[in-house]
């Protein structure tokens, strides 16, 4: 079977399509025939060298977000049968014809959804869910600012926060205004037209998916004892000494949360936007696009049509 593998860290030249043996599921695992896989910034960040910091060992099989059908069920797994359509996040190996997944982390796919659209959901939606509810404790009626609102995480965060009854101010560049308003944002800020901290004030919660200067400036938009959660970088001790809460989300698999996310999709309250669909062999094009930082919604690899 085909798999996307790196044997050293570097740019796109270290990324190879290789022929590897099909794995066999261990106890508690599913072998999934991958139909589609979401492309995320973490994929090219691992390629660039983050894999080392994350404790991964080379060679690394890339790909952390899949949709597909159950091909084989490992010993001791209940609740899944061969042929079931599933989706979820995995640690590695998703950019391949077949992938191993802990059964406890996989969830039945939303009814009526195609594989490409389903693959655009798990990592972004789980990151948003965990940032908003687990880390920041977002509650109904609260005022929320989301930076990077047109991206893979932000575009799902806007919809999840609206479904939870928050008042959402969403920030992206002007070309994404209609897209972001269409996601349900109450207020749109074009960060290229004005300093966003002059417009967004008294926020209960900020969810920052951009980082750097945007993360630092976002503190000014919070009310006293508000909460800033970021998906990018690590808040410093100094960040924690302001009169607000600050935290970082680190997305992890959670089948109960992914099931709740699936319910939102089935209730038509959450709809991912797939910007670009590419074949597995075009993974380096996908990385170049993603690294460009202008993706609206998601890039998805269609692995088996």
Whole-angstrom distance, CA of residue 29 vs CA of residue 23: 11
Q: Is 231 in the site for ligand NAP (CB under 6 A)?
A: yes
**Which residue lies nearer to ligand NAP by CB, 70 or 123?**
123
According to CB under 6 A, which residues from 73 to 112 bind ligand NAP?
A: none
Cβ pair 157, 267 in contact under 8 A: no
Considering only CA atoms, which of 219, 199, 198 is closest in space to residue 208? 219
Q: Is 257 in the site for ligand NAP (CB under 6 A)?
A: no
Give least dist CB 299 to ligand NAP, A.
8
Residue in 232, 260, 278, 282 binding ligand NAP, rule: CB under 6 A: 232
Whole-angstrom distance, CA of residue 102 vs CA of residue 90: 8
Whole-angstrom distance, CA of residue 62 vs CA of residue 95: 6
According to CB under 6 A, which residues from 186 to 215 bind ligand NAP?
A: 191, 209-210, 214
Considering only CA atoms, which of 131, 141, 264, 270 is closest in space to residue 208? 131
Q: Is 150 in the site for ligand NAP (CB under 6 A)?
A: yes
Give least dist CB 19 to ligand NAP, A.
29
- Count of Cβ atoms closer than 10 Å to residue 52 Cβ: 13
- Would you give the end-to-end CA distance of the chain in angstroms? 15
Give least dist CB 16 to ligand NAP, A.
23
Count of residues engaged in binding ligand NAP, rule: CB under 6 A: 30
Interface region with ligand NAP, contact rule CB under 6 A, candidates 98-106, 244-252, 264-272, 279-287: 244-252
Helices 154-163 + 255-266 axis angle, to 10? 80
Q: Residues interacting with ligand NAP, by CB under 6 A? A: 40-42, 123, 127, 147-148, 150-154, 171-173, 176, 191, 209-210, 214, 231-232, 249-251, 290, 293-296
């Amino acid at each position: 079977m085909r798999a996307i593998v790196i044997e050293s860290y570097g740019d796109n030249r270290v990324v190879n399509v290789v022929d590897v043996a099909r794995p066999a599921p261990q106890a508690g695992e599913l072998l999934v025939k991958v139909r589609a896989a979401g492309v995320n910034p973490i994929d090219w960040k691992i390629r660039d060298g983050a894999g080392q910091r994350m404790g991964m060992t080379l060679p690394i099989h890339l790909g952390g977000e899949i949709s597909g059908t159950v091909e084989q069920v490992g010993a001791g797994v209940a609740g899944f049968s061969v042929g079931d359509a599933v989706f979820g996040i995995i640690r590695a190996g998703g950019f391949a014809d077949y992938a191993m997944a802990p059964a406890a982390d996989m969830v039945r796919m939303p009814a009526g959804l195609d594989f490409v659209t389903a693959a655009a959901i798990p990592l972004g939606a789980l990151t948003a869910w965990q940032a908003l509810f687990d880390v920041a404790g977002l509650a109904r009626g609260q005022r929320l600012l989301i930076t990077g609102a047109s991206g893979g995480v932000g575009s799902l965060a806007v919809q999840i926060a609206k479904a939870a009854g928050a008042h959402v101010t969403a920030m992206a560049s002007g070309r994404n205004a209609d897209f972001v308003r269409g996601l349900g944002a109450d207020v749109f800020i074009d960060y290229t037209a004005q300093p966003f901290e002059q417009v967004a004030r008294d926020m209960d919660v900020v969810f920052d998916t951009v980082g750097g200067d945007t993360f630092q400036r976002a503190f000014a938009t919070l009310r006293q004892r508000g909460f800033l959660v970021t998906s990018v970088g690590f808040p410093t001790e100094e960040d924690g000494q302001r009169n607000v809460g600050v935290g970082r989300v680190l997305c992890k698999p959670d089948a109960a949360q992914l099931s709740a996310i699936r319910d939102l999709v089935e209730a038509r309250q959450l709809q991912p936007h797939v910007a670009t669909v590419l074949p597995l062999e075009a993974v380096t094009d996908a990385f170049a696009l993603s690294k460009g930082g202008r993706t609206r919604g998601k890039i998805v690899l269609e692995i088996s049509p």
